[in-house]
Amino acid sequence: MSEPVPHAAAVALLARIDRALPFTSVVTTGSEATVWCADVLSRARAGGDPLRPWRDALAAQQERMHGVPVPPHVPAAFVLQWWCEVVATPLAYAVRLGQGVVVPDAGGLGFELAPGLHPHRIIVDPDRLTLLSRVVQDEDARAAPAEAGAALELARTAYQGLVEDVVRGFAPEVVMGSRQRWGVVEDVWQTAVRLADGAAGVAVGAAPQRVSCCFIYVLPGMRECASCPRGGRARGRN
């Protein structure tokens, strides 16, 4: 099935997602500061490098903060992760807090950056949401494991379809192996699902070890995060 989400239902779902997010807001209208994902994808598909200005601005900011030259793979890793988070967040939370797989059109999905250059507002047009699959819930408002697993897989496929064209040609000035590049895609999705589970009241346990690395440890005074792959071999995921 594939059908538009009624406006009132879409607004209500986005409000639930917004209330559940600890550091990011989900809003339904953009502004002059909004970067629309459709524009980013269009430029990437045309062979451009649409996120280069974002990487350059972050590199300059990091150098001002730390007083040292910053290797280009550091801001590249952060920007790639943030790009994927913009897409993964509403998709994962919609499955866990809604009643189905709800996918935003790229023309109705955007983001705005905080002064720290991370996305702090995700814009989702409620009139450009598509319901791909409903999740049948029991009397406790919980989906059966098989239903939930199938819904997440469908949402994950939609997420990958929205991010992959940018990921494939991302940061040509940086030597970035496929394990790092596609590891970011997978790590961000797993993190988004884990956070959405927590928001839905599901016990999540310790964070799994990541496949990709943000390289923050190369900056003065910084160290690896607890799930950094440098701490050991990345574990498999469910």
Predicted TM-score (pTM) of the model is: 0.91
Residue-wise pLDDT for 81-103, tens only, equals 999 999 999 999 999 998 789 99
Which pLDDT does position 236 carry in this prediction?
39
Mapped to the 3 state alphabet, what secondary structure does the chain carry?
Answer: CCEECCHHHHHHHHHHHHHHCCCCEEECCCCCCCEEHHHHHHHHHCCCCCCHHHHHHHHHHHHHHHCCCCCCHHHHHHHHHHHHHHHHHHHHHHHHHCCEEEEECHHHEEEEECCCCCEEEEEECHHHEEEEEECCECCCCCECHHHHHHHHHHHHHHHHHHHHHHHHCCCCCCCCCHHHHHHHHHHHHHHHHHHHHHHCCCCCCCCCCCCCCCCHHHCCCCCCCCCCHHHCCCCCCC
Give the model's pLDDT for residue 135: 72
Question: Could you tell me the residue ranges of all domains in the chain?
Answer: 3-206
Residue 238's pLDDT is 35
Residues of the chain with pLDDT under 70: 1, 136-146, 232-238
CATH class assigned to 3-206: mainly alpha
Q: What's the confidence (pLDDT) of residue 161?
A: 97
